[in-house]
Amino acid sequence: MSFQDPVMVALSIADKLLKVIVEKRSVPSGEDVKKALTELDLEEVYSGKGLTLFRNRDIIVLALPRGNLVIDVIPSTGEIGEALEIISYHDRKLNALILEILPANDLEYEGNIGLEPAILDLNSGELKSSPVFGRLEEENGIPYLVIDEKTFDRWMKSGKLNVCPICGGQLIWKGKQAHCVDCGYGIKVRE
């Protein structure tokens, strides 16, 4: 695996945590977060006093699970302009669980990374939005966001298939793969 950037790591974390939210119908716990980050080959370097710190060669992840969940994904170079925040909380008005990725520097991005926040309606147990989260894979030096069929179907219904979930740029599809003309990332749909 070559350099990992915050956006791909954040999308991979969000993908895992969304599965937890749908299954447990609650904001992910500290243990859920630790499991997800460990599965993504991040190493726990500190845990205590209400926070957990993980890292790999390229990325530092700071998790603050305190009812609401805040996870900061920071490049180890300290380029704070590329840092992202994943947040999850219970919205009482909507009676829904929210999971979204926000840029620390919102001038550089159009809208949310992942296109839409995940909104899980607690009355019906249904997702009320079309987030595009997935996991990071690399092929021939090109990084891909790999998404499952369910995610793809929701995305198609949202009518935003031509919008890149990483940078908001334009996607060109060829079968079940797409490439972004703006950021150069690829998307793959896996059955």
Residue ranges in contact with Zn ion by CB under 5 A: 164, 166-167, 169, 180, 182-183
Single-letter code of the amino acid located at 122: L
Decide whether 63 or 115 has the Cβ nearer to Zn ion.
Answer: 115
**159-186 burial by CB neighbour count: b if 16+ within 10 A, else e?**
ebeebbbbbbeebeeeeeebbbeebebb
Q: What is the nearest approach in angstroms of Zn ion to the Cβ of residue 166?
A: 5
What is the DSSP code string of 25-87?
SSPPPHHHHHHHHHHTTPEEEEEETTEEEEE-SSEEEEEEEESEEEEEEEETT--GGG-EEEE
Q: How near is the Cβ of 1 to Zn ion at its closest, in Å?
A: 20
Cβ(134)–Cβ(151) under 8 Å? yes
- Give the distance between the most distant pair of CA atoms in the chain: 49
Burial label for 31, CB within 10 Å (0-12, 13-18, 19+), is exposed
Name which of 50 and 81 has its Cβ closer to Zn ion.
81
Question: Closest distance between Zn ion and the C-beta of residue 134, in Å?
Answer: 13
Rounded to a whole number of angstroms, the minimum distance from the CB of residue 74 to Zn ion is 21
Residue 9 amino acid letter: V
Query: In this complex, which beta carbon is closest to Zn ion, that of residue 30 or of residue 169?
Result: 169
* Residue 83 or 164 with smaller CB distance to Zn ion: 164
Nearer to Zn ion by Cβ, of 61 and 167: the residue is: 167
Kindly state the smallest distance separating residue 184's Cβ from Zn ion, in Å. Answer: 7
